[in-house]
Structure 1
Amino acid sequence: MAPQNLSNAIRQSPPVDLTIPYDAAWVKGKTILITGGASGFGASFVRLWANNGATVIVGDINVNKGVELVRDVQKESGNKNIHFVHCDVTDWQSQVNLFKEAVKLSPHGGIDTVVANAGIAGEDNMQRGKDLDAAEPPKPEFKIYDVNSTGVLYTTHLAYFWLPRNPDSVECSMESKPAERVRDRHLLLLGSIASFSSIAAQPQYGAAKHAVMGLFRSLRATSHPQGIRVNLLCPYFINTPIVTPTARFLLAGGGMGEIKDVVDAGTRLVADSRILGRGLVIGPNLNIKQLDNGDWKLVELKTPGSHETAIWEVYADDWVEVDAFLHRIVRVINAFQAMRGWAGWASDIVKMVAYKVGIVNR
């Protein structure tokens, strides 16, 4: 049987031209619900969007961090439409309560953007079973998968109910005028480089992030009736506490992405209502030149034909192109690691120890 061709059915805009500027102020007046927004780059999203006039409802399991963040952001931005709602994304009723409360807190009674940001990493017990030969083997705890996959499915299910009910919103369109259009219907999924690449010693995380990619690819083809635009962020290893000391040791000498670049990429997708069905990868800031065969080469600054970037578009509509993308980005990141050498490795080890002992805690 010939493969199905969904290219005409998928609601997808052209590849994102990262050289075209966008304005973060386009989020002004939008109501944005974000899960896992109390820390990491979730908290940085909240700060930027609040400073640009959005209403932001932060759902997170960490009450202390959530309350503190909202208090600080309200004070810094002068924006009082920033709210915290306790939410355990693995608990269905907790997410239901979050969405209902968000609608109540929204100045216009609707939700413009849902950001499925909640995620965790940590020691994975998938390959280390205990007492499984007992008469009643203990049920394993797969919290990493539950948060990163099941929690995202709950968020998505609720988003598809509430986004079309956003007052005065219209179906998504590539002809949208983001500077004028406030009401939106947007779901932003948080995947990972692990959404299309293997990740050693983290089978739950890898499985969950692969699931997010599959969810994204499916939703783009079936979002027409509700007029919802769906986009995807796929961060590489980003310099946040979610990267464990063990992971930092293994990554020492290489490069990690920075929160500001994740926030930049995510804000572009949230603010620019013309972007439909696209995926952005965020990694180390590199100066690269594209060769005739499509590969990227790490080069010196100001090399003719080169450009500096930490954000790439992954062509998630075609697995052949995804594989080519993965090949290219791995080669250029490996080149960056080789360029940093032992000095870079030693510097990263010092930073890893600082994280481990609590000297550095973002």
Structure 2
Amino acid sequence: MGRLQDKVAVITGASSGIGGKTMELFGREGAKVVGTARNEAKLNEHLEVVTSAGGEGIVVPADLEDDSSPDRVVAAALDAYGTIDILVNNAGVGWQYGIDNPGTMAGVHEASVENWRAIIGGVDLEGYFTMIHAVLPKMLEAGRGSIVNMSSMAGITGLYDAHAYTAAKGAILNLGRSMAITYCKQGVRTNTICPGFIDTPMIAPVVGAFDDPAVASALCPMGRPGQPEEIANAALFLASDEASYVNGAMLVVDGGCTARSFPG
């Protein structure tokens, strides 16, 4: 307990899955949490977990595809707590979004330019930039900060179809590396987590395949999807002072998926 004591952490996509569990864990570890996402009711459910355990936080309902939202989130955090020490850039879309918005997770030959822009120009990439753009000046002014960007194993390997998604995740990875070498001397560390198959609503259509043991083994050497808490634990380490010499890192948390060169 207390690994983030008195730090202020902004967490995007905090209404469910990885973001929600990260908000809860950071709150238990002493951070003042600022959770943001579109679903206010779900945000408040996670905040209730934080406050019930004696933690502190606020929620800021926001759609990061709206260019004004990041500045509004930052303003709310500063108004409440005066500073921002940590940003966990977690908001994004996945396979469920592709079902609800046909073409967005398709191959180049099937996707439209509008499909491409929905991912690249939406929350999966541009939303990361706009949140960093809003938060970073405050961290530089304070001379300290930790930014944790959530990419994917799809950022380091190809996926069948989903070309805009993999492009966005790869860009997030190199954005983090570039930021790491640019801002570390000013006290701001940047690192990236690359999750594998994590049991969240975002990839529910894929996670269901793990119910078949043969398919599960083919999808992941550990034969199971990861849990959101397992990614939150990785984010906790990177955000904390325990990772004071970790900068520009790519932390893969995928059950071994990217460790092998072929299924089996």
Superposed, 1:95-244 pairs within 5 Å as: 95-106=70-81, 109-121=82-94, 122-123=97-98, 125=103, 126=106, 127-128=109-110, 139-140=114-115, 142-145=117-120, 146-166=122-142, 170=143, 184-224=144-184, 226-244=186-204
In structure 1, what residue type is equivalent to 2:18?
F
> Where does structure 1 lack aligned partners over 5 or more consecutive residues?
1-23, 131-137, 171-183, 287-309, 311-325, 336-362
Instruction: Give the Cα–Cα distance (whole angstroms) in 1 for the partners of residues 164 and 208 of structure 2.
Output: 19
Instruction: Give the Cα–Cα distance (whole angstroms) in 1 for the partners of residues 197 and 114 of structure 2.
Output: 31
Instruction: Give the Cα–Cα distance (whole angstroms) in 1 for the partners of residues 59 and 34 of structure 2.
Output: 6
- What is the TM-score of this pair, normalised by structure 1? 0.62
Hey, what does 2:230 align to over in structure 1? 261
> Where does structure 2 lack aligned partners over 5 or more consecutive residues?
218-222
Q: Is the Cα–Cα contact under 8 Å of residues 159 and 187 in structure 1 kept in the other structure?
A: no
In structure 2, what residue type is equivalent to 1:156?
I
Q: Is the Cα–Cα contact under 8 Å of residues 196 and 210 in structure 1 kept in the other structure?
A: yes
Hey, what does 2:59 align to over in structure 1? 84
In structure 2, the CA distance between the partners of 1:139 and 1:203, relative to structure 1 (3 Å rule), is closer
Instruction: Give the Cα–Cα distance (whole angstroms) in 2 for the partners of residues 64 and 204 of structure 1.
Output: 30
Say which SS state the counterpart of residue 183 (structure 2) adopts: coil
Tell me whether 62-71 or 46-55 shows the greater mean CA deviation: 62-71
In structure 2, the CA distance between the partners of 1:224 and 1:199, relative to structure 1 (3 Å rule), is same
Q: Is the Cα–Cα contact under 8 Å of residues 13 and 91 in structure 2 kept in the other structure?
A: yes
Instruction: Give the Cα–Cα distance (whole angstroms) in 2 for the partners of residues 65 and 144 of structure 1.
Output: 23
Instruction: Give the Cα–Cα distance (whole angstroms) in 2 for the partners of residues 208 and 202 of structure 1.
Output: 10
1:172-210 deviation per Cα after TM superposition (whole angstroms, max 9, x unaligned): xxxxxxxxxxxx411111111011111112112111101
Q: Is the Cα–Cα contact under 8 Å of residues 258 and 283 in structure 1 kept in the other structure?
A: no
Hey, what does 2:34 align to over in structure 1? 57
Say which SS state the counterpart of residue 60 (structure 2) adopts: strand
Instruction: Give the Cα–Cα distance (whole angstroms) in 2 for the partners of residues 247 and 78 of structure 1.
Output: 33
Superposed CA RMSD:
2.4
Instruction: Give the Cα–Cα distance (whole angstroms) in 2 for the partners of residues 90 and 244 of structure 1.
Output: 23
Q: CA deviation at 1:273?
A: 4.3
- What is the TM-score of this pair, normalised by structure 2? 0.83
Say which SS state the counterpart of residue 115 (structure 1) adopts: strand
Hey, what does 1:330 align to over in structure 2? 260
In structure 1, what residue type is equivalent to 2:164?
Q
Instruction: Give the Cα–Cα distance (whole angstroms) in 2 for the partners of residues 58 and 154 of structure 1.
Output: 16
Instruction: Give the Cα–Cα distance (whole angstroms) in 1 for the partners of residues 200 and 183 of structure 2.
Output: 33
Q: CA deviation at 1:129?
A: 5.6
Hey, what does 2:220 align to over in structure 1? none
Bigger radius of gyration: 1
Say which SS state the counterpart of residue 59 (structure 2) adopts: strand
In structure 2, the CA distance between the partners of 1:226 and 1:199, relative to structure 1 (3 Å rule), is same
| Greater helix fraction, Structure 1 or Structure 2 | 2
> Quick one: percent identity of the two aligned structures?
25
* Pairing 1:276–2:252 present: no
Hey, what does 1:177 align to over in structure 2? none
Hey, what does 1:71 align to over in structure 2? 48
